[in-house]
Amino acid sequence: MRQVARAARASERALYSTARAYEARAPLVVAEGNAAVAAGSHPAVAARGFGFAAAGAFATAAAFTPTAVALCAEGEEAAPAGAEGSAPSSGSAHPTVVFVLGGPGAGKGTQCSNIVNDFGFVHLSAGDLLRAHMKSGSEDGNMVAEMIKNGQIVPSVVTVRLLLDAMKASGKERFLIDGFPRNKENRDAWEVTAGYDCDFVLFFDCPEDVMERRLLGRGETSGRTDDNIESIKKRFKTFVESSMPVVDYYAGLKKVRSVNSDQSPDEVYAQTKGHFAAFV
Ligand SMILES: Nc1ncnc2c1ncn2[C@@H]1O[C@H](COP(=O)(O)OP(=O)(O)O)[C@@H](O)[C@H]1O
Ligand SMILES: Nc1ccn([C@H]2C[C@H](O)[C@@H](COP(=O)(O)OP(=O)(O)O)O2)c(=O)n1
């Protein structure tokens, strides 16, 4: 019970600090963020502005409070400094996080499956989580569906919470976070909310014509609303304009491990696994 109470207090502090951070950073994030959000091109986002994000964080924090308060009433001592944050139950300060980036169809998901099998990572695809969220009947499901079809990047407050919740639910300590961060707003929100950065970025480099061919092939069976030529063109544009700057940022920090994914899946994996030698 002591551990549960301590975890509850840590989570509560993390949620409140997230909400405070969003509140403090809202003007900055709106100014710098996703063009779709900043320009207010989606009515649901435009109507609520970034208040939508801050309100979401506060609502989650408020929802958590009764449990945390009840547990705190049991007279537990304060959790140690630095215990807050969203790390699952691990002995270390935070879990191992590898951001997996690359254009649409570069082969991120395909290679993540291999890494999961060989190196004991948990694969969390931001796109898969968003697709599940949009089908779950959630209040913002229609907004997410429309943005995905248009090749736009969903507001970070939605994506980061889905990722952190999935990490926590897994109870594991090594994560491949696939398709995230897709823009500066994603990256900023991760740092503010999770409180730590990735260990490194695994980047799959692939020419656009190859990716297009793969996506059209995938579209024959995927049932995805965005595996059609119109959405694919929009996704490529978003990738070049919003996602590549994130890769460049991490390259500046010497955190990018790059793989040429214009080869057969086996050849790509032969290169990929070299980047995980430390995790055997
Ligand atoms: N190296 C490869 N060569 C040929 N086809 C590939 C390769 N890697 C993946 N694919 C296929 O291309 C499509 C996109 O791959 P996927 O892993 O879903 O990409 P991403 O997650 O980057 O969008 C899928 O149909 C997949 O089977
Ligand atoms: N961080 C993310 C990741 C994906 N999305 C949305 C927008 C993307 O075009 C879709 C699909 O992403 P996903 O990673 O599943 O697919 P591709 O890499 O484009 O094949 O999801 C997002 O809004 N934010």
Q: Does any domain span residue 133?
A: yes
Same domain, 148 and 44: no
**ipTM of the predicted structure?**
0.99
Same domain, 19 and 100: no
pLDDT at 92: 65
Percent of the chain whose predicted confidence (pLDDT) is above 90: 65
Same domain, 32 and 112: no
Q: How many domains does the chain have?
A: 2
Q: Does any domain span residue 224?
A: yes
What spacing in Å lies between the alpha carbon of 107 and ligand 2's midpoint? 13
What spacing in Å lies between the alpha carbon of 106 and ligand 1's midpoint? 6
pLDDT at 249: 98
Query: Which mutation among 108, 110, 129 tests ligand 1's pocket best, with the greatest number of atoms within 8 A of CB?
Result: 110
What spacing in Å lies between the alpha carbon of 41 and ligand 1's midpoint? 31
Same domain, 143 and 198: yes
Same domain, 169 and 275: yes
Tell me how far apart the alpha carbons of residues 237 and 2 are, in angstroms, rounded to a whole number.
50
Are 268 and 107 spatial neighbours (Cβ–Cβ below 8 Å)?
yes
Same domain, 137 and 274: yes
How high does pLDDT run on average in the chain?
A: 76
Residue 199 vs residues 89, 96, 168: alpha-carbon distances, Å: 18, 6, 18
Tell me how far apart the alpha carbons of residues 23 and 57 are, in angstroms, rounded to a whole number.
9
Q: Does any domain span residue 87?
A: no
- Please identify, among 38, 72, 106, the residue that sits at the C-terminal boundary of a domain: 72
Sequence letter at residue 14 = A
Angle at 132 between CA 15 and CA 178, to 5 degrees: 75
Q: Which helix (H) or strand (E) holds 1?
A: none
Same domain, 59 and 157: no
Q: Does any domain span residue 177?
A: yes
Task: Point out the annotated binding site for CMP.
Answer: 186
Given the structure tokens 């010497």, which residue do they identify? Answer: 254
Kindly identify the ligand whose nearest atom is closest to the C-alpha of 107: 1
Q: How confident is the model at residue 210 (pLDDT cuts 50, 70, 90)?
A: very high
Measured by CA distance, the residue closest to atom 11 of ligand 2 is 127
Note the pLDDT tens digit of each residue in 84-127.
Answer: 333 344 456 899 999 999 999 999 999 999 999 999 999 999 99
More confident residue, 28 or 187: 187
- For strands 174-178 and 256-260, give the pairing: unpaired
Q: Which residues contact 65 (CB under 8 A, 6 or more apart)?
A: 12
Residue 167 vs residues 21, 122, 162, 246: alpha-carbon distances, Å: 21, 8, 9, 22
Same domain, 101 and 205: yes
Tell me how far apart the alpha carbons of residues 134 and 141 are, in angstroms, rounded to a whole number.
4
Q: Does any domain span residue 185?
A: yes
- Cα 192–chain centre separation: 13
Which residues form ligand 1's pocket by a CB distance below 6 Å? 102, 104-110, 214, 217-218, 261, 263-265, 268
Structure tokens at 27: 């003007």
Structure tokens at 221: 């069976």
Same domain, 209 and 114: yes
Kindly identify the ligand whose nearest atom is closest to the C-alpha of 272: 1
Same domain, 17 and 117: no
For range 155-165, the mean pLDDT: 98
Domain of residue 203: give its range. 96-279
Sequence letter at residue 98 = V
What spacing in Å lies between the alpha carbon of 156 and ligand 2's midpoint? 12
* Ligand 2 atom nearest 126 alpha carbon: 3
Q: Does any domain span residue 79?
A: no
Same domain, 112 and 203: yes
pLDDT at 91: 56
Note the pLDDT tens digit of each residue in 15-71.
Answer: 333 333 333 333 323 223 333 333 333 333 332 222 223 333 323 332 322 222 222
